[in-house]
Amino acid sequence: MDRKIQVPISKEDAKSLRAGDYVYLTGTIYTARDAAHKRMQEALDAGQTLPIEMDRNVIYYMGPSPAREGRPIGSAGPTTASRMDKYAPNLIDLGLGAMIGKGKRSQAVIDAVV
């Protein structure tokens, strides 16, 4: 089924998604990989606030995208999600609405999503 969803994503929209849905997101989607997730965890451990609000927002696990001359961004393909698994449950607890990446997730992330 084709789904058009506005970000920040509502809990109702998130709960209604099913495997195989084609999802078209509109709104601000943040990109971050393992180094950014590590810095966010270090900030949280130090009692600091994060530079972005997690509540209902979406993080795209995107690899480096150096822009060619005259372009704002380069190739923006997904990176392996499992590298963020040790950080994801804490971000989900803070309200992270969705994650975009590739590959399998750990049981801890699956449990946090449920």
Q: How many CA atoms lie less than 13 Å away from 60 in the CB half-sphere?
A: 14
- The DSSP call for residue 112 is H
* HEC letters along 8-57: CCCHHHHHHCCCCCEEEEECCCEECCHHHHHHHHHHHHCCCCCCCCCECC
What local confidence, expressed as pLDDT, does residue 75 receive? 85
Q: What is the pLDDT along the chain (114 residues), one digit of tens a residue?
A: 899 999 999 999 999 999 899 999 999 999 999 999 999 999 999 999 999 999 999 999 998 888 889 998 888 889 999 999 999 999 999 999 999 999 999 999 999 998
- Strand, coil or helix: what is 61? coil
What local confidence, expressed as pLDDT, does residue 106 receive? 97
Return the sign of the alpha-carbon dihedral for residues 50, 99, 61, 29. negative
Q: What span, in angstroms and rounded, lies between the C-alpha atoms of 14 and 9?
A: 7
pTM over 0.85: yes
Contact 51, 4 (CB under 8 A): no
